[in-house]
Structure 1
Amino acid sequence: MLKKVLFFIVLFLVLGFFYYFDIFMFTSPVEIKEYVLSFGIYAPIIFIILFTIVPLTLFPDALLAIAGGLIFGLYEGSLYVMIGALCGATLSFYISRIYAAWIKKKLSNKKLINLDKNAKENGFLIIFFLRLVPLVPFDIISYSAGFSSIKYRDFILATCIGIIPGVVVYANIGAQSFDLGSNGFYIAVASLLALIVFSMMFKNKLEKRLYENN
């Protein structure tokens, strides 16, 4: 019980700090870029921290991912987005494991995903396919996985592999944003559209099978 209380206090203080300084009040990737680069050589660390904490906020992950490409370029940006996303997913996962009852009261059943069926046997595949569909909220998947019996090892490995297409596409959009009209920019836009179409094709099927019917 003491560990739960201390963990909650730390989370509350960290989140309060971020909101006190309006850190998650960005309105565009450019604002994120200016903020992150203001830390100089520590910019990558700050960016990863932002991505780690974002599950505790209502800030869109996609905006941060695009900013990653804008700030660091496609390759470094994708790497830092991956690291930050995995850290954020881990935080969400363990928050659910620790505060399962409280989180369930705060999140409606329609938002949570029922992952417990066959979770022990097929946990990796379930998370992997969910991660391939960016239209399914990233943090909702992480919180829902924490409620289930899915092993963390399966959860984080499936997340790491499953988010690669989305991370690269969003980071590439950011990386190409300063070169509007170039072939690279059009390829980035086409990749994003393809990802959205793919997501729409599989989203409804996944919802029917995995979302709770209450």
Structure 2
Amino acid sequence: MVTIIKIVSFIALSFLCAYLYPYLNPTNIAAFIEKNKLSVPLVFILITSVRPVLFFLPSMGLTIVAGILFGKYWGTAYVVLGGALSTVVGYYFAQWFGRNTAKKLIKKNSYLLFLEKKSTNNGKNMVLYMRLFNLPWDLVSYWAGVSGINFKDFYIASMIPIVPISFLYTYFGSTVFNPTCAGFFIALTIMFALGAIPFVRAKLKGNSYV
């Protein structure tokens, strides 16, 4: 019965995403927020919170939009609040849909079992590494939920970098209409550097990204 509920829920979410896709994107969200300024913070936080179940909404795009609309300080506050909630949603969403399937696959594959043990033993450090070096936020939450990492370890590791990372992207968003200022280039450089570090590290060490 639970499996049937999961299948039906997944199909319903897929149809919802397909229906909303032409409308629910950073540009349209920005336009909506501009027209509804009194309820803007709550609307933005709500959209950010449920983003993990709307597979096509980019966290980076929403964070930059927050900087454009709210400025670097209030934008950071709203992104952090929404991100703290979306982290919970993403983890339990993935765990509910995928954890049992993952357990069955792990039992049949020694390499997957090895990865499961590695994730369990080093989950906090692995999550922190992926958060710091700019891997897609929701994908990390999905991976943690499916792999069985302890929620407390996952959440603590996720919350450690959430303020500085949110500030970086909202600050960048607040400068996008002034691309000749020093802050724009500094933020952009840091963003590229953080994104490149895992690939450079993996190339130097000749192993996986984490």
| Shorter-chain TM-score range | 0.7 to 0.9
Over 3 Å counting, the alpha-carbon distance change for 1:123 and 1:42 in structure 2 is same
Pick the structure with more helix per residue: 2
Say if 2:93 is the partner of 1:95. Answer: yes
Counterpart code for 1:154: D
Give the deviation of 1:61 after TM superposition.
1.6
Determine which structure has more spread, i.e. the larger CA radius of gyration: 2
Give the deviation of 1:202 after TM superposition.
3.9
Give the deviation of 1:67 after TM superposition.
0.5
Give the structure 2 partner of residue 130 of structure 1: 130
Give the structure 2 partner of residue 52 of structure 1: 49
Over 3 Å counting, the alpha-carbon distance change for 1:202 and 1:181 in structure 2 is same
Distance 2:117 2:88 in 1: 21
Distance 1:119 1:103 in 2: 17
Q: What does 1:1-214 correspond to in 2, within 5 Å?
A: 5=5, 9=9, 12=12, 16=16, 19-20=19-20, 22-24=22-24, 26=25, 29-56=26-53, 57-100=55-98, 116-134=116-134, 136-202=135-201, 208=208
Give the deviation of 1:140 after TM superposition.
1.9
Over 3 Å counting, the alpha-carbon distance change for 1:117 and 1:10 in structure 2 is closer
Give the deviation of 1:98 after TM superposition.
1.4
**CA RMSD for the aligned pairs?**
3.5
Secondary structure of the corresponding residue to residue 178 of structure 1? coil
Percent sequence identity is 26
Distance 1:202 1:88 in 2: 29
> Greater shift after overlay, 158-167 or 143-152?
158-167
Secondary structure of the corresponding residue to residue 23 of structure 1? coil
Give the deviation of 1:182 after TM superposition.
2.0
What does the per-residue CA deviation read over 1:141-185, in whole Å, with 9 as the maximum and x for residues that have no partner? Answer: 111111223211111111111344432221111011232322322
Give the deviation of 1:90 after TM superposition.
1.4
Distance 2:189 2:67 in 1: 16
Give the deviation of 1:54 after TM superposition.
2.3
Distance 1:167 1:32 in 2: 18
Give the structure 2 partner of residue 109 of structure 1: none
Counterpart code for 1:36: I
Counterpart code for 2:66: G
Distance 1:59 1:17 in 2: 9
Distance 1:208 1:3 in 2: 33
Secondary structure of the corresponding residue to residue 179 of structure 1? coil
Answer whether contact 2:98 2:146 (CA < 8 A) is retained.
Answer: yes
Structure 2 unmatched runs, 5+: 103-111
Answer whether contact 2:120 2:150 (CA < 8 A) is retained.
Answer: yes
Over 3 Å counting, the alpha-carbon distance change for 1:197 and 1:20 in structure 2 is closer
Structure 1 unmatched runs, 5+: 105-111
